[in-house]
Amino acid sequence: MLELVIFSTLNGVLYGMLLFLLASGLTLIFSMMGVLNFAHASFYMLGAYFGFQISQWLDFWVALFVAPVCVGLVGAAVERWGLRTVHKWGHVPELLFTFGLAFVIEEMVQMIWGKLPVDYRVPKLLDFPAFELFGTTYPAFRMFMLLISVAIFLVLLLVLTRSRIGLIIQAALTHPNMVAMLGHNVPKVFMMVFGFGSGLAGLAGVIAGPALVTQPSMAHVLGPILFVVVVFGGLGSLSGAFIASLMIGLIQTFAIAINYSIGDLLTSVGMARPVQGMLSDLWQVTVAQVGPVVPYLMLVLILIFRPTGLMGTRES
């Protein structure tokens, strides 16, 4: 049991940190620009594919630095020549723009790299078990992922709280109009933030690609959950996103480890479980099965009882 707890915690934290890498960019974009960026996970996928391609040509370590920059540039270009045009027509067109963009990116990736998973390997340097506990090994690359995400979190925190640009972004998060009135070039800040956020997603892709599978559907799987993180954590709150990421990572991982159903609970307190009827399945469902649904339930509940999210200060 102890080993399950330890590994579930490790895996949960790792998944949470991966979510945070993605969500941190999205929360900046969402809170500053109000854009519900449905293509954010697509940038994550682009990162994985760029990382794969560059490590084929050169080396993983080059890819680690170059691929996120490339993705960031793509993101900035999308903002400059796409979103900016749409911005003046409101948030729904922006959202639909990113909707279409996700389609386009997915199809392009399929055309260029094929529809099958690509053989994106963990670099030789990190291809060994980091430690062994109760006979289960934990790969070094996963530790490396954890390290990178923690480092990024710290850097982000420092930049946002200590640097001038960080202050402008912080201000723009909460009072976008005021910042514009103070004479800052808000469109330029938007472009930079969008590019930076996409770059972060790209970085997540580069390091997640070898550990998970790099394939065209990888964006789909993560898409909606990112919104849960951002909204649950609270708009405009990086630390909220951080807590939400970890929470969701841990909850999802631990839910998998639990095999009880509502029916079991009823039986254990001495009640008969209903077996007939159309909705009888409800009693058979185990916690493990509903694990992936839990985040959405959390989202709905927190929005009903605390519309600003966990740490947020505003509703939109």
Q: Which residues in 296-315 contact other proteins (CB under 8 A)?
A: 296-297, 299-300, 303-304, 307, 315
Nearer to other proteins, 147 or 158 (CB): 147
> How many CB atoms sit inside 10 A of residue 189's CB?
20
Rounded-to-integer distance, Cα 146 and Cα 18, Å: 8
Nearer to other proteins, 185 or 292 (CB): 292
Nearer to other proteins, 65 or 107 (CB): 107
282 binds other proteins (CB under 8 A): yes
Nearer to other proteins, 82 or 166 (CB): 82
DSSP letters, 29-50, are HHHHH----TTHHHHHHHHHHH
| Span of 165-173, 191-199, 251-259, 263-271 interacting with other proteins by CB under 8 A | 251-259
Q: How far apart are the first and last CA of the chain?
A: 43
57, 124, 132, 272: residue in contact with other proteins (rule CB under 8 A): 132
Amino acid at 89: W
Look at phi and psi of residue 183 and say left if phi exceeds 0, alpha if psi is from -120 to 50, else beta.
Answer: left
161, 163, 185, 217: residue in contact with other proteins (rule CB under 8 A): 217
Which 23-62 residues touch other proteins, going by CB under 8 A?
Answer: 34, 36
61, 65, 99, 260: residue in contact with other proteins (rule CB under 8 A): 99
Least Å distance between CB 194 and other proteins? 16
Q: 160 vs 24, 29, 73, CA distance in Å?
A: 12, 14, 21
Which 196-215 residues touch other proteins, going by CB under 8 A?
Answer: 211-213, 215
139, 167, 171, 266: residue in contact with other proteins (rule CB under 8 A): 139
| Selection from 39, 24, 23, 34 nearest residue 78 by Cα | 39
29, 93, 146, 180: residue in contact with other proteins (rule CB under 8 A): 93
Q: Partners of 71 in the beta sheet?
A: none
Nearer to other proteins, 189 or 302 (CB): 302
147 binds other proteins (CB under 8 A): no
Least Å distance between CB 162 and other proteins? 30
The SS3 call for residue 131 is: strand
Rounded-to-integer distance, Cα 60 and Cα 52, Å: 8
Nearer to other proteins, 109 or 189 (CB): 109
| Selection from 170, 168, 195, 193 nearest residue 183 by Cα | 168
